[in-house]
Structure 1
Amino acid sequence: MQRSTTQYLLSASASLRLRPVRAVIIMCLSTLLSMSAVADADADDPWQGYNRWMFEFNDGADRLIIKPIATGYDFIMPQFARVGTNNFFSNFYDFNGVLNALLQGRIEEALNNTVRVITNSTIGILGFFDVASQAGVPRYETDFGHTLSVWGVPQGNFVMLPFIGPSTVRAASGSAVDAFMSPTGQMFNDEAYWGLRVFNLIDLRAGLLDAEQVISGDRYVFFRDVYLQRRAVLDAGGQVKDDFSEFDNDWDEDAF
């Protein structure tokens, strides 16, 4: 299964004519997938030496660059604009949810997310207003990492990715596929695409500023365990609620 998935990722990167940067990401992650040993969700962390080093790198970049920008963003952005921004990006994720639900054989969930995308893209003005949630249309939260799990692809080792953070080999490979499945990759040129990605990152980081007060002990272990628990629930088909959402009442969870 690992071999066939790797071949799929390689062929997809060529057939869909990905932009060069994303094509390289696909190739690298598919190589990681082929190299990864099969590991359970609660297995040891065999790449911990590298992972801790990358965690420290990411943490330093966050303290020096990302967190100060996110703090300024949180200060100047009014709450309604924050919610609208979350809704906007969430609408793109709902589109990916349609495709992944179909690949998982979940027709009802695919239909629900389709209704959400159509409703929020039109009545909700390009997704800035989450009209679908107000109308009671449920969101199916999923990604291609979940799809790979449904197909029986093993999780692989836990890995800390540069600037992105905690992941697993399967989830990282799925994220790469989600990147070119997303309509943002087709609607915008490289500059606009990566601009949106960075803006989304800053918005997400701003939403987690208050969560830092609950982190104690070994920060690396904390982030690893929280991520793996969240990932396990998502891959099992559960609806994931962000572990930090209760510490930021102003962040509308349904909007993201």
Structure 2
Amino acid sequence: MRALALSTCLLLGACATADNRDPFERINRHIFEFNDAMDAGIIRPAAESWRATVPEPARRGIRNALNNLQEPVVFINNVLQFRLADAGTTLLRFSMNTTVGVLGVMDVATQAGHPQRMGDFGQTLYAAGIGDGPFLMLPLLGPSNVRDAIGGGVDSFIDPVGYAIGYALPRTAATGVGIGRGVIQGIDLRAENIENLDALRADSLDYYARLRSIMQQRRDAQLGRTTEGGEGLMTLDDPGG
């Protein structure tokens, strides 16, 4: 019976009932197929190599340092949302981790009882009353929606760390650092979710629809619209990363 359902799914291109938040589903599925092919051919092998060659303590340190570089953007969005207590915590975290934590390699702030706060421009737009807009599957970047896709672009534009790198280095070098920062963060995130995504694919009759549902649930949880955190993918906590 499962094999019959899977065959029907492959023939029709979708098993789930159409999602009214996904009016561009046909295009999104084509982009998803491209992303899936890129993942199978390039991204997953790179993630497996990253996990096999870089010890976990080193990966954790790099992950901490990259997360620390995101704190100024989180701070800006906390302020824009008038979440001043969270803004203060974010500023404290950035100060502690950059100094005592050796440029963020050690997350001493969390150990001291100051866990990371969330803040992105998609969330800021949501706080201002802007709706999600249609679901989007972005090339290489994965699941999002119109509001959060715009928010991710704004976050990149307002990133103080990016401007600091641009002032400190020649343009070509600064561009390379920026690209490298994103690539490493993406590969590390993929490495952390190899088993999660394998299990998700194995348990899904329609991998696209299942992934769409989970990511929408997780974003709802991040925005405080539900207490559900989505099924699996607990490591994936930044859709615009």
Contact 1:234-1:240 within 8 A present in 2 as well: no
Of 123, 137, 141, the residue aligned with 2:118 is 141
- Deviation track 1:155-214 (CA, whole Å, cap 9, x = no partner) reads 100000001000000000000111122233213311111111111111111111111232
Alignment of 1:48-63 (within 5 A): 48-63=25-40
Deviation for aligned residue 1:93: 2.2
**Aligned counterpart for 2:179 among listed residues 194, 218, 221:** 194
Normalising by structure 2, what TM-score?
0.80
Within the alignment, does 1:184 sit opposite 2:172 as a pair?
no
Of 214, 219, 225, the match for 1:226: 214
Q: Which residue of 1 aligns with 2:13?
A: none
Q: Give the letter for the 2:212 counterpart.
A: R
Farther-moved stretch of structure 1 (237-246 vs 176-185): 237-246
State how far apart, in whole Å, the 1-side matches of 2:149 and 2:28 are.
Answer: 14
User: Following the alignment from structure 2 to structure 1, what is the Cα–Cα distance between the partners of residues 44 and 38?
Assistant: 9
In our comparison, the structure showing a higher alpha carbon Rg is 2
Unaligned runs of 5+ in 1: 1-41
Aligned with 2:144: secondary structure?
strand
Residues 143, 175 of structure 1: 8 Å contact kept:
yes
String of CA shifts for 1:126-148, please: whole Å, max 9, x gaps.
10000000000132112110000
Moved over 3 A (4+): 237-246
| Alpha-carbon distance in 1 for matches of 2:229, 2:87 | 20
Is the 8 Å Cα contact of residues 92 and 183 (structure 1) preserved in structure 2? no
- Is 1:75 the counterpart of 2:60? The answer is no
Distance 1:142 1:45, change over 3 A: same
Q: CA offset at residue 96 of structure 1?
A: 1.4
Alignment deviations for residues 207-248 of structure 1 (CA, whole Å, 9 cap, x no partner): 1111123212211011101111111111227899785466x8
User: What TM-score do you get using the length of structure 1 for normalisation?
Assistant: 0.76
* 1:141/1:240 contact within 8 Å kept: no
- 217, 220, 237: which is aligned to 2:205? 217
Structure 2: distance between partners of 1:76 and 1:57: 27
Looking at structure 1, the residues matched to 96 and 77 of structure 2 have their Cα atoms a distance apart, in angstroms, of 19
In structure 1, what is the Cα distance between the partners aligned to 2:20 and 2:189? 29
Query: 1:205 is matched with which residue?
Result: 190
Aligned-residue offset at 1:84: 0.4
Compared CA separation, residues 240 and 131, structure 1 to 2 (3 A): farther
Aligned positions, number: 208
For residue 117 of structure 1, what is the aligned residue in structure 2? Answer: 94
For residues 136 and 239 of structure 1, what CA distance do their matches in structure 2 show? Answer: 23
Report the CA distance between 1:86 and its aligned residue.
1.2
**Identity rate of aligned residues, in percent?**
37
1:97 maps to amino acid: V
Unaligned runs of at least 5 residues, structure 2:
1-18, 166-173
Preserved CA contact (<8 Å) 2:90 2:117: yes
Measured against aligned partners, the alpha-carbon deviations of 1:41-72 in whole angstroms (never above 9, x if no partner) come to x7341000000000000000010011101100
